[in-house]
Structure 1
Amino acid sequence: MGHCGGVASYVDPEGEYERDSDYISTRITADGRDGYAVEPGRYRLVAARACPWANRAIIVRRLLGLEDVLSLGLCGPTHDKRSWTFDLDPGGVDPVLKIPRLQDAYFKRDPGYEKGITVPAMVDVQSGAVVTNDFAQITLDLSTEWTQYHREGAPDLYPEALRAEIDEVAQRIYTEVNNGVYRAGFAGSQEAYESAYDRLFAALDWLSERLAKQRYLVGDTITEADVRLFTTLARFDAVYHGHFKCNRNKLTELPVLWAYARDLFQTPGFGDTIDFVQIKQHYYLVHTDINPTHIVPKGPDLSTWLTPHGREELGGKPFGDGTPPGPPGDGERVPAEHSASRRP
C-alpha cells in the first residue's frame, strides 16, 4: 500500500488512529557501517511534493545544497492501493531508476516486502533497491553524515549543542502535530476524534506560546525542528482544517504561528518546495473514505503567504553565519500556478 510517510496505519477498536513506525532502518553513513557509504551520485531520493514527511527531505536537501550529489525522483500526488507511481515523468517511468512504481525498488530490496510503500525513500541507483524509508533518520543523516558535500554556507540544522532540545521539541511536534492532524482526520469514533482535536490544539497553543518570544523553535537559527513543524503548517488551511476536521482555528487565525509559517515560507528552501495543487490533490483524491466525491476544494486564497510577517524583530538569523540556498535547479521548480503568488 502506498503511504505518505507512515508505514501501515490503522484504526483500533476504540476508533483511535495508529501509525505504525516500523521502517527499513538501514543508514547511509560517512563510514558506510551499514553497507551503504555516502557517495555522490550513488543514491536517489524518491519523494512526493504532496507528502509532508517527504517534503521535509526535499527541504533539507535544498537547504544543505546536496542537489548535485543526491538526485531527486518525484512521484505524482496520488497513488493507488499498491504504490506511489512516477506519473509526472515521460511514459510514467522514473528516468534514473527506470521503474513505473516505487514498489519495484522496495521489492528489489526484499521480494517479500509486505509493509507500506512509503516516501521519502533513499534508493541505491546501481542495484535499484531501497536503502531506507526511515523519514526521521534520513534528514538527520543528510545533516550529519553528508557534511563533506554540503554547500558552502549551508546551515547546521542539527547543531550538537542543541540536539537534546531539538529531539525533545521534534518528538512533541511529531506525536501531537505532524501525526496529530492524522489522528483527528482518521478517527473512527466521535470520542477518538474529539480527544485528537483537543491534543492537537493544545500543542498548537504550546507552540504559539514558545514562538511568541523567539523566532525559531530551538536556538536563534533554523533547525530540524522548524523543518518538521513547517510541513504540517503549510498544509493546515488547505487540507487539515477542512478535510481532517481540525477546525478550531485556521492557521491564519493563529497570529504567532501564522507569522512564523510565513517567515519560513518566505525563506529560500521552504516555500519554494510547496506545491499546493499537488497537496490538495493528494489528500482529497486518495482518501476516498473521507472524501468519496473526489471533489478538490478551490480555496483557500494563497496570496497571503507572501505578506510581511514582522518576525525579524525577534532577532535570530535563518542561516546563522551561513547563506540561503540559491534558486531551485532546472526541473525542480514548483510551477508558479501551483504556489503562493501575489494577486495581480
Structure 2
Amino acid sequence: MPEVSLKLFFSYSHKDETLRDELAKHLAILEWQGVISSWCDRRILPGEEWDYQINDNLNTADIILLLISSDFLFSKYCWDVEVKKAIQRHHTGEACVIPVILRSVDWNGAPFGKLQALPKNAEPVVSRHWHNQDEAFTDVAKGIRATAEKLKKERPREQEQANLLGQQTAIRILKEKIERRQQKPQSTQTTTAKLTQETDDLSSEKSVDYTRLRDLLKAGNWKEADQETLVVMLKATGKEQQGWLDAESINNFPCTDLRTIDQLWVKYSNGHFGFSVQKQIWESVGNDYQKFGDRIGWRKGIKDWLSYSDLTFTTNSPQGHLPAFGNYPFEGLKKTFTGGIRLQSFASFLAWRLVSCNI
C-alpha cells in the first residue's frame, strides 16, 4: 500500500503570491514523488466557505509554512488566526511549523522566533546573499524535503506507540475490573449502591442521564448503545431539535460528558471501542480519513464505504469500530453531522476536543 503524502499548508500574504508561486514550483518534485501534497487558499472553489476551508486544511496539515515578510506580519488574519493555530499545533506535536523568510523584516520576538527558519541562516529569499531566487528556493526545498523525510520515519514509531497505548489501556481497565470483582461484597444495599456509583461515573455538566447508555453497553447491546450515544450527544449540546452536530458544538462539547461517554464505551468493551481509542487510531494514521476508515472497518476496498447496516456490532469487529454515532458517518455525517462537516473534519475536531479535555 503506497505511503500517504504529508499535507503541507501555505500561510502567506497575497502581496507575496508571486514568491509563493515560485516556491511551489520548487516543491513540485516533492509533489510528484508523493512526499507532500500542498494546499493554499487559491484552491478554494467558488461557493465554498473560505474561513472553513482554511481552518480545515490548517487543522489537518503535517507541515505548515509561514512565508514571512512585512506584509505577512501586517496581515491581521495571518497573525491572529493562522500563526496562532500553527504555533499551537506545533507545540502539541501535531504539525511541524517552518518559517520561510521571503523578504527582510524584523521578526524578533515573534511566536515563531525560536523555530529554525529557511533559507539557511534565515537569509531572506529576496536579498543580495543569493545569486538569484532559484538558489534561495532550492535551499528552502531541500530543507522541506529533509523535514518531510524525518516526519515519515517517525510515523511508524508513533503508530507503534499508539497501538501500545491502546493495549495498555485495555489491560488497565481489565485489571481494574478483576480487582473490583475480587473485593468482598458488603451486606447492606447502601454499600452496594455506593460501589455501583463508584464503578460507573455518570457525571454530566448538562444534567444528561447516561443510565440507559451504561445499561446497554453493560449488556453488550452495541447497536442500541451506538444509537443512544447520538441521542445523549445531542442532549449534551442542546441540538435535539436540530438533530445534528456542527463544528461549534463539537469544539465546545462538555468535557465531563465526553469523558463519561468515552469511559463507558472503553470500560464495557475492554478497550475495544470508544472515542479515545478512535483518537489514537486517527493520530496513528496521520489524520488520514481513508486510512482511518480502513483501520476501524468503515471502508471496504478503495472507494467503498460501508452502510450503517453493514457495520459489525460485536467485539469481533476491528478496534475502534464503534461508536459510529447511530447514523454512521457516510450516511449520517452528510445528514446528521453536517453544517458542512466532512468525516475528516469531524474526526479532526473530535480528536482536538479529546486532547483539550485531556481524554
TM-score in same-fold range (> 0.5): no
More helix by percentage: 2
Higher relative CO (CA 8 A, sep ≥ 6), structure 1 or 2? 1
Larger radius of gyration: 2
Q: Give the TM-score of the pair, scaled to structure 2.
A: 0.24
Q: Give the TM-score of the pair, scaled to structure 1.
A: 0.24
